[in-house]
């Protein structure tokens, strides 16, 4: 089984997942406007927790919690407990398989009033998969799996501004020991986050407005085969805002909006041979590009070039912006109800779905649920339920350390 065949097998699976990206940089997507941006290890971009997924996958500017590392590490320093954590579990493609799931474990510790550290682990199990070679020969059964480990430092610069940095190790084994044609892919990545929050008064009620920005998964390319097959990992820019409005002493509403843009190359339009299936090559044995830019670039060129490399220009660049919006209602910080919507242009993947969520808190513990409602009831993501358990201990006390 060749590396290309392996990618095609798992591309079929990954295309059905609610990720920010799909997998397999060698896949050429749509010469007629439909150009889905593709990367390796998309699992590191999957929304892991039930609070954010109940709000349409927003989280860059919402109030901090134990899962802030994924959304915006800059807000972790504003968490108001000494230490805590969260465990999230998401069954995957439940209408198709019953043994695929994502687990996310996170924890934090507040060093002092301005500094907080965090760790997290993300584990994605693709279940048991029966493998065959290109002619249908039995290659046995494997259990593909992927894992990522994070370490985070977050610090307040002022009482309103926070910055964060995370380091991430990524390991992905999509075939196991079933073939020598592929190996486990590994990569290291960094996240950078910024968070601004400011208390305001609306209608005589205490409220709060926040802004956030995060660039996540800044890291080296990775490969399951040779270095010539190396693919970008999902470097992502997320910006957004959240407005929390106090309705009275017991009730509040939060309105949130996130915009996402993958900072990896857009697939160009290639010239094809007469058969319509084979990409034409030039005298240097390189693919002939009719429109767009060569996607085989280094990390920095790929990141910064991603804003002006779409074959159809600015109109296509705008199509690459994903929109997530959500509302969260709290009653006495005990019960929460959530509603959200996620939109991705049809030429860039076409994921569009409504989300619902509930949250309960009791003393230092909490539980959140979310439910995904895709536009097509026959979609493999239909009836997707996620849940998260949270705990927070020891309300942080004011210390001598001050911030200007």
pLDDT, tens digit, for every residue of 288-313?
Answer: 899 999 999 999 999 999 999 999 99
| Residue of 328 and 4 predicted with greater confidence | 328
Tens digit of each residue's pLDDT (9 = 90 or more) over 137-166: 777 778 889 999 999 999 999 999 999 999
CA angle 154, 158, 159 (to 5 degrees): 95
**Among candidate residues 107, 172, 178, the one with its CA nearest the CA of residue 146:** 172
pLDDT above 80 (res 175): no
The residue among 27 and 360 whose pLDDT is bigger is 360
The more confidently predicted of residues 281 and 167 is 167
Average pLDDT on 225-246 reads 91
170 pLDDT higher than 60: yes
- pLDDT-based confidence at 61, cuts 50/70/90? very high
| Neighbouring C-alpha atoms within 13 Å toward the C-beta of 120 | 32
- Above pLDDT 90, what percent of the chain? 64
Predicted local confidence at residue 20, as pLDDT: 35
Q: Identify any residues that bridge with 200 across adjacent strands, giving them in sequence order.
A: 207
**What is the pLDDT, as a whole number, of residue 316?**
94
pLDDT range class, residue 78, cuts 50, 70, 90: very high
pLDDT at 93: 73
Average pLDDT over residues 276-284: 84
Question: 308 burial class (0-12, 13-18, 19+ CB within 10 angstroms)?
Answer: exposed
pLDDT beyond 80 at 380: no
Distance separating alpha carbons of residues 64 and 77, to the nearest angstrom: 8
Domain ranges of the chain: 38-264+311-395, 267-309
Question: Is the pLDDT assigned to residue 58 strictly greater than 70?
Answer: yes
Most confidently predicted of 222-231, 354-363, 369-378: 354-363
Q: Which CATH architecture has domain 38-264+311-395?
A: Beta Barrel (2.40)
- Long-range contacts for 2-10 (Cβ within 8 Å, ≥24 apart)? 2/134, 2/181, 3/181, 3/182, 3/224, 3/225, 3/226, 3/229, 5/134, 6/174, 6/175, 6/179, 6/181, 6/182, 6/224, 7/224, 10/126, 10/144, 10/174
Mean pLDDT over each residue of the chain, to the nearest integer: 86
**pLDDT at 403 > cutoff 80:** no
The Cα 69–Cα 187 span in angstroms is 18
Which pLDDT value is given to residue 402? Answer: 52
| Residue 286, pLDDT score | 86
Q: What is the pLDDT of residue 70?
A: 96
pLDDT tens figures, 188-234: 999 999 999 999 999 888 899 999 999 999 999 998 877 778 899 99
The predicted model scores a pTM of 0.86
375 CB neighbour count, 10 Å cutoff:
11
Residue labelled with tokens 């339009």: 269
| pLDDT for res 382 | 66
Check: CB of residue 369 under 8 Å from CB of residue 387. Answer: yes
pLDDT at 19: 37
């Amino acid at each position: 089984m060749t590396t290309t065949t392996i990618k095609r097998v798992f591309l079929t699976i990954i295309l059905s997942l609610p990720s920010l990206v799909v997998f397999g940089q060698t896949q050429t997507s749509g010469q007629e406007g439909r150009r889905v941006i593709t990367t390796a290890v998309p699992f590191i971009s999957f929304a892991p927790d039930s609070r954010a997924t109940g709000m349409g996958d927003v989280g860059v500017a919402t109030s901090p919690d134990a899962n802030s590392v994924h959304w915006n590490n800059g807000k972790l320093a504003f968490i108001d407990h000494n230490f805590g954590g969260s465990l999230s579990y998401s069954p995957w493609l439940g209408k198709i398989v019953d043994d695929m799931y994502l687990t996310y474990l996170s924890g934090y510790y507040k060093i002092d009033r301005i500094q907080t550290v965090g760790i997290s682990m993300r584990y994605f199990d693709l279940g048991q998969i029966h493998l065959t070679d290109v002619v249908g020969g039995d290659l046995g059964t494997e259990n593909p799996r992927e894992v990522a480990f994070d370490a985070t430092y977050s610090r307040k610069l002022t009482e309103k501004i926070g910055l964060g940095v995370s380091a991430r190790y990524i390991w992905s084994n999509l075939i196991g020991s079933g073939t020598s044609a592929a190996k486990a892919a590994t990569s290291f990545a960094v996240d950078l986050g910024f968070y601004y929050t400011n208390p305001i008064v609306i209608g005589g009620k205490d409220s709060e407005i926040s802004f956030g920005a995060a660039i996540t998964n800044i890291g080296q390319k990775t490969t399951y085969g040779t270095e010539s097959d190396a693919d970008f990992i999902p470097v992502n820019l997320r910006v957004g805002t959240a407005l929390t409005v106090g309705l009275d002493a017991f009730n509040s509403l939060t309105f949130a909006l996130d915009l996402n843009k993958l900072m990896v190359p857009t697939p160009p339009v290639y010239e094809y041979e007469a058969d319509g299936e084979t990409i034409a090559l030039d005298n240097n044995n390189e693919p002939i590009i009719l429109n767009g830019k060569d996607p085989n670039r280094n990390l920095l060129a790929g990141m910064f070039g991603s804003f002006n490399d779409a074959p159809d220009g600015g109109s296509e660049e705008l199509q690459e912006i994903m929109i997530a919006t959500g509302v969260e209602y709290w009653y006495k910080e005990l019960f929460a109800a959530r509603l959200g919507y996620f939109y991705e242009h049809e030429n860039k993947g076409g994921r569009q779905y409504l989300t619902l969520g509930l949250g309960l808190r009791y003393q230092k513990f909490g539980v959140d649920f979310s439910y995904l409602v895709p536009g097509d009831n026959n979609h493999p993501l239909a009836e997707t339920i996620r849940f998260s358990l949270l705990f927070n201990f020891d309300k942080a006390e004011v210390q001598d350390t001050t911030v200007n």
